[in-house]
Chain A
């Protein structure tokens, strides 16, 4: 029985179809879940897709984190099921307090849309289990506020608990310690700025994203 990925859609989300295609490509099933819904009974994992939820008004993710779906996602995560936030989804998860730290504006005030090389620094999460530890992957970034920021205490905890899962080879946005993706202490909530759903075919010049979704549907 293929696993079903619930893809959360806010007004302004725009990566949901790319995530759906990636999930199907690795043999999984998907279901779109609008932000006003709260029923997550028939999905095995959750992806909060990228875009501009609620127009990113106030701050990216600030309004989205009070949508009804987020409370349901919190409960879902308590049962140790996987919750992944990609790009804007990562911003939503930090605003909701489900992941530590915050994403501030890119150093240099530039919107970044480019391929990046990433180091896989932890495979001990449901979104990176099929990757090779310390390998490099090529994924695309597409963001204005992707500069990961946290206080020193949080940074020490992230390091101590092996919560940093992806780092940039050449830091494009000023992120603390080149951080591109992290997980929570329980390892089932994952946030990353790069878009694995956009690296799923030779035509897109990278298939490295498929391993992430392969991990998720296991």
Chain B
């Protein structure tokens, strides 16, 4: 954990977790940004690229009692705010050892 996390009070039995949420378009939803980038890559000579998808990556730090607790909390956030179920899917990953620091 980096120095700026040290102000976080970690209560009894709670650990600090960092999670990565990837929000992506459902397959049926158009991704004009992805297809535009795909064309730009082809124009640069990267002509082996079959598909480019553009979504969002959201990193969250939170305190939780366990992996399951951290995932459950984040799942709720995705359902209520971070994704729109009509347009998007999401994937949650727990980051270990400052994987993306």
Q: Mark B56-96, 1 if CB is under 8 A from A, else 0.
A: 00000000000000000000000001101011000000000
Whether the Cβ atoms of A149 and B29 lie closer than 8 Å is yes
Count A-B contacts at CB 8 Å: 34
Contact between chains at A101 and B30 (CB < 8 Å): no
Q: Tell me, yes or no, whether B47 is within 8 Å of chain A by CB.
A: no
Check A107/B32 contact, CB under 8 A, given A58-B81, A62-B81, A66-B81. Answer: yes
Question: Which interface class (under 10, 10 to 19, 20 to 34, 35 or more) fits B?
Answer: 10 to 19
- Could you say which of B29, B33, B84 has the most chain A C-beta atoms within 10 Å of its C-beta? B84
What per-residue 1/0 map shows which CB atoms of A37-67 lie under 8 Å from chain B?
Answer: 0000000000000000000001100110010
A110 to B92, CA, bound (A): 31
Query: In the bound complex, how far is the Cα of B31 from the Cα of A104, in angstroms?
Result: 9
Q: Do A149 and B86 touch across chains, with their CB atoms under 8 A apart? A: yes
CB pair A151 B33 closer than 8 Å: no
Give Cα distance in the complex from A151 to B87, angstroms: 10
* B36: Cβ under 8 A from any A Cβ: yes
Given A58-B81, A66-B81, does the pair A151, B30 have CB atoms closer than 8 Å?
no
Separation in Å of the B69 CB from the closest CB of chain A? 23
Contact in complex: A59, B84 (CB < 8 Å): yes
**Interface status of A109 (Cβ within 8 A of chain B):** yes
Q: Which residues of the other chain, A, contact B33 by a CB distance below 8 angstroms?
A: 105, 109
A102 to B30, CA, bound (A): 13
Contact among B29, B36, B81, B82 with A109 in the assembled complex (CB-CB below 8 Å): B36
Measured between beta carbons, the chain B residues less than 8 angstroms from A147 are: 30
Assess the A108–B32 pair: CB atoms within 8 A. Answer: yes
Q: In the bound complex, do residue B81 and residue A104 qualify as a contact, i.e. CB atoms below 8 Å apart?
A: no
How far does the alpha carbon of A213 sit from the alpha carbon of B33 in the complex, in Å? 36
Supplied contacts A58-B82, A150-B86, 8 more A-B pairs, CB within 8 Å: A58-B81, A63-B81, A102-B87, A104-B30, A105-B32, A108-B32, A109-B36, A149-B29
Residues of B within 8 A of A (CB): 29-30, 32-33, 36, 81-82, 84, 86-87
| 30 A-B interface contacts by CB (under 8 A) | A58-B81, A59-B84, A59-B87, A62-B81, A63-B81, A66-B81, A94-B86, A95-B84, A102-B84, A102-B86, A102-B87, A104-B29, A104-B30, A104-B87, A105-B30, A105-B32, A105-B33, A106-B32, A107-B30, A107-B32, A108-B32, A109-B32, A109-B33, A109-B36, A147-B30, A149-B29, A149-B86, A149-B87, A150-B86, A151-B86
Chain A interface residues (CB < 8 Å from chain B): 58-59, 62-63, 66, 94-95, 101-102, 104-109, 147, 149-151, 174
8 pairs of A and B residues whose beta carbons are closest in the complex: A109-B32, A102-B86, A102-B87, A104-B87, A102-B84, A109-B36, A105-B32, A59-B84
